[in-house]
Amino acid sequence: MSVLPSSFTEHKPGTLAGTLIASGVAIALLYYGRDFFVTLFTAITISFLLDPFVGLLTRLKLPRSVASFMVCSVALLGVYLIGLGMFTQVAVLIEDLPSYGQRINDLADQVASRLEAAEQSTYQVLVPKRIREKDMPKEAAQPAPKSRRRSAEPPMPVSPPPVQEVRIRPDRSPFVDYIYKSWQSWYQILLLASFIPFLVYFMLSWRDHLRRSYLHLFHGTGRHAAGRSWQGIADMARAYVLGNFVLGVLLTIASGVFFWYIKLPYFLIVAPLSGFLSLVPYVGLPLAILPPALAALPVHSAMGPYLVIASVVGLFHLLALNLLYPKLVGSRVHLNPMAVTVALMFWGSLWGAIGLVFAIPITAGIKAVFDNVTELQPYGKLLGD
């Protein structure tokens, strides 16, 4: 019986096949457990937003659990007030939906008529006249002959066919099934969302305990690498989340003042949508222009106001991302454009729209781990700028 070399037995767990299988299992878990992971990452993101306020209260000699409870309570109250204000705006918007629908139908008719006219003019320019006349039917080219005399007797009226009475038995099962499926999906979302406040509170109040317990999983030099990785992820995530939140708030305030000045309807809803959508990588500018453009449909029919709205929103977008974003966010992320693009494609295909939000912080967190583990540092350089 032959004995395998020791080098083969040492590297057997790290073979390419094992790595591919482990990666496939991880991707499958992320895809099929996306509701759980999205809820967890949402709670982590909110906890990073609120952690500086908890730290401020703990410096005032308050226990961390009491400080976490106070901060979470104030945050929930703020969410309730914001939701109440948004609800009043949405209620008014629902009443005006018919005018929006009529305006959209008018614009669609105008676009269709212009396209038809452009197609007809292009046909007349490109196709010679003799070919157009040849393509015309003879009935259209020649006028219909006039009848010389009227018929003596009028045509006999045609009696309509007898209408048979059909009894339709009401069938409510498809509607009931649709309501059940819709309610089931919303129930799942609401059920997982109800865990977010509790997760945020426990992450804030038990932060030090969780960090100590996590570090006890490692020994020797591995514990130091794990501590550096934890700190690197925390610093990066806090800088990214807080930086984007501050940018979103600044864009919301600037856009809200501008929308109020031009008397744009529902600016309390449109301003935050435009401000925070502007932060989406690559497609933020068109997404930021879309809400105010839709809100202006019943008010403006000329093209001038839309150009002004697009220009001002584009100016806010460029100033925020070119002047403020590098100082608040970019100095902590350190991802190259290729890594950002691939991350957006990967997480967007796994989790949809919410994956685009978490793509950059998750990838930057993975890079922070790679940078603090000696064996994985080449992969960190591959992702970095």
Tell me the per-residue pLDDT of 2-28, one tens digit each, with 9 for 90 and over: 444 444 344 454 577 777 888 888 888
Q: Indicate the range of 25-39, 62-76, 291-305 predicted with least confidence.
A: 291-305
Q: What global pTM score does this model have?
A: 0.65
Whole-number percent of the chain with pLDDT over 70: 75
Q: How confident is the model at residue 295 (pLDDT cuts 50, 70, 90)?
A: confident
Q: How confident is the model at residue 253 (pLDDT cuts 50, 70, 90)?
A: very high
pLDDT of residue 343: 86
Q: pLDDT tens across 139-173, in order?
A: 444 555 554 455 455 556 556 655 555 455 445 45
pLDDT at 129 over 50: yes
Q: How confident is the model at residue 257 (pLDDT cuts 50, 70, 90)?
A: very high
Domain boundaries, the chain: 31-134+197-206
What mean pLDDT do residues 40-50 have?
86
Q: pLDDT tens across 334-352, in order?
A: 788 888 888 888 888 888 8
3-state secondary structure the chain: CCCCCHHHHHHHHHCHHHHHHHHHHHHHHHHHCHHHHHHHHHHHHHHHHHHHHHHHHHCCCCCHHHHHHHHHHHHHHHHHHHHHHHHHHHHHHHHCHHHHHHHHHHHHHHHHHHHHHHHHHHHHHHCCHHHHHHHCCHHHHCCCCCCCCCCCCCCCCCCCCCCCCCCCCCCCHHHHHHHHHHHHHHHHHHHHHCCHHHHHHHHHHCHHHHHHHHHCCCCCHHHHHHHHHHHHHHHHHHHHHHHHHHHHHHHHHHHHHHHHHCCCCCHHHHHHHHHHHCCCCCCHHHHHHHHHHHHCCCCCCCCHHHHHHHHHHHHHHHHHHHHHHHHHHHHHHCCCHHHHHHHHHHHHHHHCHHHHHHHHHHHHHHHHHHHHCHHHHHHHHHHCC
